[in-house]
Each structure stands twice: as structure tokens, then as C-alpha cells.
């Protein structure tokens, strides 16, 4: 995209023209928002994504982008809502959303909004999806270990954290 290549004005012009030609195409709004975010304009990106949401509220990636925006803004309740929407729509396409939601449910500053069992289920789902693709993630395993800890499942937490450390070491992420 123009934004990734650093052509801010060109990227904006491109999307504005596309929206003139297809004003009801949610994918154009989603792409425009993505590029605005890449250009360091997250508030403008969120406004564009919210327009896309009116056209296609069930778009999983859009919900993931909105969740990420609200998480970065510190609005964890909105982030939870959008991440849940993303995961419920299509978890296989929104594994980042699922792991991010699990992290929020583990670490939310309001203890009444923490949810260990849901966080365990989310992190396990992502871990299993990655394994089915022959992949693995130390970050997801760490999230799972933290979720087990929140649930008081100390042995599982310890085993999972050990697995995350071994994996990170094998990937050169830890010495």
C-alpha cells in the first residue's frame, strides 16, 4: 500500500477516490483505516473503522482492529467488546484478538472484570489452532500460563511457562 511505502498523501487520495466509487464497500473503509493507522493517525483510523462497522458489523478483522485501537487507548471495556465480537465471528482469522482478549481478562485493573476460565479457553484455542498449523508461540503459552495462575492451577501454569521458555530459547528469543 501507499502508506506502507510512506506515501501519506497518495494513500489518502487513493482511498478517498475508492470511497467515491464504492461508498458502501466496507473493505475499502477497513483498508483505509488500516493505512491511516500505519501512518500514525489512530483516531482517524478508528473513525473510518466505525463507518465500516455500520456497513459490516460482523467483519472479524474489523472487530479485531477496533479492539486493538480501544486497547491502545486504554478503553479496556470497549476492547473486550470488540475482541469478543471478532473471536465469536471467526477465531481462526483473529487469533491476535483472542490472545489480546485473554491478556485483558487476566490483567484487567478491575478485579471484577477478570475471567480466568475464559482466558484459559481463549489461550488454549489459539495454542491448538497454531499447533494444527505446525506453529507455536511463546507469547500464547505465556498467556496460557498466566491464565492458569489466575485460576489457581499452579502445576499447569508452571509446566506451560516452562514450555514457553523452552520454545522462546529454541527460537532465539531468550538466551
pTM of the full structure: 0.88
Q: Read off the pLDDT of residues 119-168 as tens digits, 9 standing for 90 and up.
A: 999 999 999 999 999 999 999 999 999 999 999 999 999 999 999 999 99
Query: In three state form, how does the secondary structure of 86-139 look?
Result: HHHHHHHHCHHHHHHHHHHHHHCCCHHHCCHHHHHHHHHHHHHHHHHCCCCCHH
DSSP letter for each residue of 32-50 = HHHHHHHTT-HHHHHHHHH
Residue 87, pLDDT score: 97
Q: List the chain residues with pLDDT less than 50.
A: none
Task: Give the per-residue pLDDT at 29.
Answer: 87
Amino acid at each position: 500500500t501507499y502508506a506502507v511505502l510512506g506515501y501519506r498523501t497518495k494513500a489518502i487520495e487513493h482511498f478517498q477516490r475508492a470511497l467515491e466509487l464504492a461508498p458502501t464497500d466496507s473493505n475499502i473503509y477497513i483498508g483505509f483505516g488500516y493505512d491511516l493507522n500505519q501512518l500514525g493517525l489512530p483516531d482517524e483510523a478508528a473513525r473510518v473503522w466505525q463507518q465500516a462497522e455500520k456497513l459490516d458489523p460482523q467483519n472479524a478483522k474489523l472487530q479485531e482492529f477496533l479492539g486493538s485501537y480501544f486497547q491502545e487507548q486504554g478503553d479496556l471495556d470497549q476492547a473486550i467488546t470488540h475482541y469478543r465480537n471478532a473471536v465469536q465471528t471467526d477465531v481462526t482469522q483473529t487469533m491476535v484478538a483472542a490472545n489480546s482478549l485473554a491478556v485483558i481478562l487476566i490483567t484487567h485493573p478491575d478485579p471484577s472484570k477478570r475471567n480466568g476460565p475464559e482466558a484459559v479457553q481463549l489461550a488454549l484455542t489459539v495454542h491448538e489452532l497454531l499447533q494444527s498449523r505446525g506453529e507455536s508461540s511463546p507469547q500464547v503459552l505465556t498467556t496460557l500460563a498466566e491464565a492458569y495462575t489466575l485460576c489457581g492451577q499452579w502445576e499447569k501454569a508452571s509446566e506451560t511457562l516452562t514450555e514457553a521458555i523452552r520454545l522462546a530459547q529454541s527460537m532465539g528469543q531468550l538466551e
